[in-house]
Amino acid sequence: MYQHIDGKAWRHIWLIGDLHGCFNLLMPKLRAYEFNPYQDVLISVGDLIDRGPDSLKCLELIHQKWFFAIRGNHEQMAMDALEHQQLSLWELNGGAWFEHCTVNEQAEAQRLLQACHELPYVIEVDTDSGVHVVAHADYPAAHYQWQQDVDWHRVLWDRQRLSDHLAGNHSHIDGADHFWFGHTPLKHRYDVLNQHYIDTGAVFGGELTLVQLQ
Residue 181 Cα distances to 9, 50, 70, 101, angstroms: 23, 18, 10, 30
CATH topology of domain 2-161+173-212: Purple Acid Phosphatase; chain A, domain 2 (3.60.21)
Active site residues: 74
Residue 182: closest CA among 45, 42, 81 = 45
Tens digits of residue pLDDT in 10-26: 999 999 999 999 999 99
pLDDT tens string 29-44: 999 999 999 999 999 9
State the pLDDT at residue 129. Answer: 86
Residue pLDDT, tens place only, 150-198: 999 999 999 999 999 999 999 999 999 999 999 999 999 999 999 999 9
Q: CA neighbours within 13 Å on the CB side: how many for 23? A: 13
Q: What is the pTM (predicted TM-score) of this model? A: 0.96
* Segments making up each domain of the chain, as ranges: 2-161+173-212
